[in-house]
Structure 1
């Protein structure tokens, strides 16, 4: 009989919590770097800040990949499929990608003509407000870059491991509607070209599935699937909004019938 695994397996929850702990440490380090941005010297200080962020993201991306590889190998051992396999670590995001992301996060810092129709409401805010908004955007974007490296380690290992058959998404009760919608889709076969989709601040993880195992949605994911199928699926083009409303109305409780 196939071994059953689900998106809420205890080991997956522990890995997700470990990655969240890593994200908290990353956020703390990002907050410390905030002092490098000098409001009176934006043009000279922001590039220095971006260089420092690159170093921090690289450090935490490597740690995320190591955590993910350890998790993958532990899951493989638990599957009792024999034959050793070392999960390859995904590369950290290249410096150009990190720099471009941070330039996006700080784009609203630069002075704009308030009378210019192209100036957005966010760009009209006082500099102190714009700095705070840029900090939040940068922290969430940096978290995604680091967490992606861990998720790519799991999905990449599953694609290379001949005894793996695919991977599935694990999302927490507090995940957003987008992540819960994707989690209801179950296992992705490794031959698929589908990548792990995530947003800034996303804490979802990927679960490897091996030969001799059968992936099943947890009770909470089955409830999300029911809500999506009943309230959102028939409405093409408006599915995510309707799913979000259904989640808000019904909460996260498992289906009782």
Structure 2
């Protein structure tokens, strides 16, 4: 009996989380070896270690996403020859440096667990982002009409639920070269609901030729799913997005000028659904 696509989706999420937990284990082992060193020295060591430690997990994450994409493509009998590409980009030195500087702050008070929490969340995001990038990259290259959709978990935070309500984002020439959706092209907020510098508020969906600015926070379990247009999976994915969209509509707060107040909407969503 064939495994349903939704089961494969959740298995993909669990596989990525398993990789993240293994990375956390490696980080824990390293931290407890260096925890008594000066904070500045731990920071410098982390800058060097993070790329080497996280790199193999990012590669595995990308390979998992590429395999999943290939499986889904075969399941929908996509036509034409297409070679799915995996992720080859590792952790950049600038990224490693920024994470290390931010993560060691709790060590000033001797809080090794606090450092591990920060590092674990950051590396988990890298691992999931590697898989997300593979899906997004292949949807852009695939000659078949295919898009991708942010798939959040039930009970996710308000930020993820709001973005999941966008539905499938099509980025191929076969989809008229546009992004499907409504509203502004950015939320203009970060994971905590604060407005980003230069951000644009007033909507969660985009329509036209602008690309959506996807945001993910540390410890976010949202994954990106390829959505092949016209398939049963696409219909199911659309229904999933509609549920999040209904939650958004129920919690939406509008300013006096008629634009959506994103920060207030997130606050109302948290209150309505008792989530973060």
Structure 2 counterpart of 1:203: 221
Structure 2 counterpart of 1:244: 270
Q: 1:44 aligns with which of 38, 41, 45?
A: 41
What is the alpha-carbon root mean square deviation over aligned residues? 2.4
2:46, 2:100 within 8 Å by CA — same for their partners in 1? no
CA distance in 1, matches of 2:135, 2:243: 26
Structure number with bigger Rg = 1
Q: Which structure 2 residues correspond to residues 159-198 of structure 1 after superposition, within 5 A?
A: 159-190=140-171, 191=177, 192=179, 193-198=211-216
Is structure 2 residue 72 aligned with structure 1 residue 75? yes
CA distance in 2, matches of 1:9, 1:187: 16
1:21 Cα deviation from its structure 2 partner: 1.3
CA distance in 1, matches of 2:16, 2:6: 16
1:88, 1:153 within 8 Å by CA — same for their partners in 2? yes
Q: What are the ranges of 5 or more consecutive residues in structure 1 without an aligned counterpart?
A: 1-5, 111-126, 250-257
TM-score for both structures, normalised by structure 1: 0.79
Q: 1:178 to 1:167 in 2, by over 3 A?
A: same
User: Once the two structures are superposed, what CA deviation does each residue of 1:156-197 show, in whole Å capped at 9, x if it has no partner?
Assistant: 110111114311111112421211111111111114422432
Q: 1:30 to 1:100 in 2, by over 3 A?
A: same
2:103, 2:115 within 8 Å by CA — same for their partners in 1? yes
Number of aligned residue pairs? 226
1:63 Cα deviation from its structure 2 partner: 0.7
Q: 1:103 to 1:39 in 2, by over 3 A?
A: same
Q: 1:215 to 1:223 in 2, by over 3 A?
A: closer
Q: What are the ranges of 5 or more consecutive residues in structure 2 without an aligned counterpart?
A: 172-176, 180-210, 255-259
- Which of structures 1 and 2 has the larger relative contact order (alpha carbons within 8 angstroms, sep 6+)? 1
Structure 1 counterpart of 2:19: 22
1:36, 1:48 within 8 Å by CA — same for their partners in 2? no
